[in-house]
Structure 1
Amino acid sequence: MEQLKGKVAVVTGGNSGIGYATAKELKAQGAEVIITGRRKEALEAAAAALGVTSLVADQGKVADIEALAAAVKQQYGRVDILFINAGVLGGAAIETVTEAEYDHVMNINTKGAFFTLSRFVPLLSEGSSVVFLSSNTATMNKANSAVYSTSKAALNKIMKIAAAELAPRKIRVNAVSPGPTETEILNKMGLGDEKLKELKQWIVSNVPLATMGRAQDVAKMVAHLSGEASAFVTGSEFIMDGGMHL
């Protein structure tokens, strides 16, 4: 069903993983979708496969975000759905984290997400939906995750304050916090096949539902939060981790 027909949607980091799955779902529900990413070739390949528009932008650079907002304004004039999805992993013990590692994670996950919202606020139509991709780690306290978890916890606070600020325009702002999800990001960790298998087994052993999440499930939640069925929902975080946070 085309529940989002006529809506203009922007998905940052839309060339793979949860971003790709969400762009696919939003398009299936009738939205006009624009995906962004840093890697031009990968982004264009994803856009061609999905049948959507692509615009190159690095969420870690405010100048790129501003250029992206200007391009969307010129081509579409407004945004009805903004999924701020782009992000990076990063984890180490507090005593070993370098300034460069800290800045890399925070610049993309927190600062970049903040300024993406900031620069798109003027383009958001009345009654539009903003969804942040957070993480279940934002409310967990695992060793070696201080930087990443902090970046997502800060994102959740930004989400709640944005929900309060934008409520007068009927703009809803929420966050989806997945747990371990089957995406290419695990394969990019540089582990061998056996080590990757062991990692996935360890992850699943910590999930009460005994499985990893699927990108398409997160995509359906984002689409739900973008439609009329969630018209009275704002300032909320939706944890999707199979009970891992319990």
Structure 2
Amino acid sequence: MNNLKNKIALVTGGNSGIGYAIGKELVAQGAKVVITGRRKEAIEAAAHEIGASSFLADQANLDDTIQLTAAVKEQFAKIDILVINAGITGTLGPIEEASVENFDRVMNINFRGAYFTLSKFIPLLNDGASVVILSSIVAATHKPNSSIYQASKAALNSIAKTAAAELASRKIRVNIVSPGPHRTEIMRKTGLEEMALKSITEQLINDIPLKKMGEPEDVAKLVTYLCDDAASFITGTEVIVDGGITL
């Protein structure tokens, strides 16, 4: 399949997990893909593996985003697909014990960084382009000990819908994909021990109606669909990919 042949795509946070799977699927659909990441060796290795180009950039760093924008403009002039995927959970804990450092780190990547990535790339979007923002089902939940992460994703959903309204006159579509539990490395970055992670995973599988964790490829296929002309009448929509856990 080459539904996205010769389309130019940028995926932030593309060196692992869902971002990696999205980049790989976009390449498979014929797109020319640039993936970004914060670790030089990891992002270069990932790009080589999937047949994409790489750019070292931290979404939390506005200077990096400006440099990324300039590099993409110089190489391609315009892009057709923007996937804002980079994000972290940060450390978990109750509101009363929250640290400013953790708050700033999560918000700088998940919200501020995503916001200004979108802002800086809007002038480079071709009319009719597709923007997909990776959020999470936690944007609509209020579980204890996850207030900062949940708030960052709720804010992200808000700007995505505003962008959909602002960019509709240019036929640019902006959609949100909100995964539920998937097999990625993001939970390992919360600082929880292996036994705790195993227990959480088992509980999640028990709670999910489909009785399995999602795979990054599930999200990747949905994202590429939203970037295709087949989804030309879809904008401002949030698509939940969670195996039914939020039913």
TM-score (norm 1): 0.97
Q: 8 Å contact 1:140–1:245 — kept in the other structure?
A: no
User: CA offset at residue 193 of structure 1?
Assistant: 4.2
User: CA offset at residue 196 of structure 1?
Assistant: 2.8
Paired AA for residue 154 in structure 2: A
Write the distance in 2 (CA, Å) between the matches of 1:15 and 1:7.
20
User: CA offset at residue 191 of structure 1?
Assistant: 4.5
Write the distance in 1 (CA, Å) between the matches of 2:41 and 2:28.
24
Q: Deviations over 1:79-126 (max 9, x none)?
A: 100000000012221101111111110110000000000000000001
Corresponding residue for residue 72 of structure 2: 72
The correspondence of residues 17-166 of structure 1 with structure 2, limited to 5 A, is 17-90=17-90, 91-166=92-167
The runs of at least 4 consecutive aligned structure 1 residues that moved more than 3 Å come to 187-195
Paired AA for residue 16 in structure 2: S
Q: Deviations over 1:12-55 (max 9, x none)?
A: 00000000000000000000000000000100011111111000
Q: Deviations over 1:117-141 (max 9, x none)?
A: 0000000001000000000000111
Q: 8 Å contact 1:129–1:172 — kept in the other structure?
A: yes
Paired AA for residue 236 in structure 2: G
Aligned residues: 246
Q: Secondary structure at the match of 1:127?
A: strand
Write the distance in 2 (CA, Å) between the matches of 1:64 and 1:219.
25
Corresponding residue for residue 167 of structure 1: 168
User: CA offset at residue 190 of structure 1?
Assistant: 4.8
Q: Secondary structure at the match of 2:81?
A: strand
Paired AA for residue 218 in structure 2: D
Write the distance in 2 (CA, Å) between the matches of 1:199 and 1:35.
30
Where does structure 1 lack aligned partners over 5 or more consecutive residues?
Answer: none
Paired AA for residue 60 in structure 1: A
Write the distance in 2 (CA, Å) between the matches of 1:124 and 1:145.
34
Q: 8 Å contact 2:11–2:23 — kept in the other structure?
A: yes
The correspondence of residues 164-243 of structure 1 with structure 2, limited to 5 A, is 164-243=165-244
Q: 1:101 to 1:187 in 2, by over 3 A?
A: closer
Q: Secondary structure at the match of 1:63?
A: helix
Q: Secondary structure at the match of 2:165?
A: helix
User: CA offset at residue 244 of structure 1?
Assistant: 1.3
User: CA offset at residue 145 of structure 1?
Assistant: 1.3
Write the distance in 1 (CA, Å) between the matches of 2:68 and 2:194.
38
User: CA offset at residue 198 of structure 1?
Assistant: 1.6
Q: Secondary structure at the match of 2:133?
A: strand
Write the distance in 1 (CA, Å) between the matches of 2:15 and 2:133.
17
Write the distance in 2 (CA, Å) between the matches of 1:239 and 1:245.
9
Q: 8 Å contact 1:84–1:131 — kept in the other structure?
A: yes
Corresponding residue for residue 14 of structure 2: 14
User: CA offset at residue 144 of structure 1?
Assistant: 1.0
CA RMSD of the aligned region, Å? 1.1
Write the distance in 1 (CA, Å) between the matches of 2:221 and 2:162.
25
Q: Secondary structure at the match of 1:180?
A: coil
Write the distance in 2 (CA, Å) between the matches of 1:142 and 1:223.
30
Q: Secondary structure at the match of 2:159?
A: helix
TM-score (norm 2): 0.97
Matched residues, percent identical? 57
Write the distance in 2 (CA, Å) between the matches of 1:194 and 1:101.
24
Paired AA for residue 226 in structure 1: C
Q: Deviations over 1:170-189 (max 9, x none)?
A: 00000000001101223344
Q: Secondary structure at the match of 2:153?
A: helix
